[in-house]
Amino acid sequence: MVSEAGSRIVEVIKNNQKSLIDELLLNMKKKVIRLDKNAEIEIVQQAKQLLMFLEIAISRGPLLDLESSTWDDTRQLLNDFSQNRAKQGFSPIETATFIFSFKEPLYKFLRESLIDNPQFLSEEIATTSLLFDELGLLTIASYQKAREQVILRQQQELLELSTPVVQLWQNVLALPLIGTLDSARTQVVMESLLQKIVETGALIAIIDITGVPTVDTLVAQHLLKTIAAARLMGADCIISGIRPQIAQTIVHLGVNLEDVITKATLADAFLIALKKTGSSITNS
């Protein structure tokens, strides 16, 4: 009898595909996974495909080197699987359970088929265990990657959402800042402000920092940079919405806002802007 590593696993997979999948489903249900009819069909399909790829990959070898090209199909399948799961909001445990649930039924069938060769049985079980651990890690890794992509996309969206530049009046723009100002956001804020200055030909930009929770030296520096850039484009800036604590912090930090007009509220800043641009509003 040829007792090449992995040979019996291939045989077991080939001969018991149907019952393997049945037991897999049973196993998954016993654990945390909730399965409706559709999900069950999907799982069965994925399991079939996985078993098929595994059969090919194990028989071709190298057995435990998941990086090699023999495992391309398997890797691709698991990648898609975990990414879908991540998007559907499954937990990582639920995702990995799919892989780990294969172990028990496989052990069972291996035991049945190798009952007269305990030495080889234990070797094959060890191999299976190692292999499925690797596959499990792979699913977790791609699950994590998918989640990271989601977070990255959300970050991007947040960046765009949180920096609107609005035109208040002819020649007057307002830039209501909300949230902390880091370098990446300053860059976006600066770009959209300057773009809007070009589009509208504004003379005054009011930067409202009511929604900025804290102002440290870095944030102040970013603000000053934005103001300097706007000035180079021929627009003056007014900072408004400075809360009492923030005024205190700015002075304590020794930040120099001497050359910038500052106002407590957006309304005050707007009045100044109107005066500077030669417009006025009166009650009728």
Partner 1 sequence: MERIPILRMGKLLLVTIQVDMHDQLAMTLQDDLTERIVKEKATGVLIDISALDIVDSFIGRMISNTAAMAKILDAKTVVVGMQPAVAITLVELGLTLDGVITALNVERGISLLGHTL
Is the distance from CB of 259 to CB of 220 less than 8 angstroms? no
Alpha carbon distance 238, 271 (integer Å) = 11
Binding site for partner 1 (CB under 8 A): 187, 190-191, 194-195, 197-198, 201, 225, 228-235
Min separation Cβ 191 and partner 1, Å? 7
What is the spatial order of strands in the sheet that 172-178 belongs to?
Answer: 166-169, 172-178, 204-211, 236-240, 261-262
For partner 1, the closer of residues 89 and 278 by Cβ is 278
For partner 1, the closer of residues 20 and 165 by Cβ is 165
Q: Is 209 helix (H, G, I), strand (E, B) or coil?
A: strand
Min separation Cβ 262 and partner 1, Å? 18
For partner 1, the closer of residues 126 and 233 by Cβ is 233
For partner 1, the closer of residues 209 and 227 by Cβ is 227
What count of Cα atoms within 13 Å lies in the side-chain half-sphere of residue 212? 29
Min separation Cβ 169 and partner 1, Å? 17
Neighbours of 96 (CB within 10 A): 20
Residue showing tokens 């399965």 = 35
Min separation Cβ 199 and partner 1, Å? 10
Min separation Cβ 198 and partner 1, Å? 6
Is the distance from CB of 230 to CB of 237 less than 8 angstroms? yes
For partner 1, the closer of residues 12 and 194 by Cβ is 194
For partner 1, the closer of residues 151 and 232 by Cβ is 232
State the SS3 of 71-134: HHHHHHHHHHHHHHHHHHCCCHHHHHHHHHCCHHHHHHHHHHHCCCCHHHHHHHHHHHHHHHHH
Min separation Cβ 195 and partner 1, Å? 6
Alpha carbon distance 227, 235 (integer Å) = 9
For partner 1, the closer of residues 4 and 191 by Cβ is 191
Alpha carbon distance 150, 146 (integer Å) = 6
Min separation Cβ 235 and partner 1, Å? 7
Neighbours of 124 (CB within 10 A): 24
Chain centroid to Cα 69, Å, comes to: 28
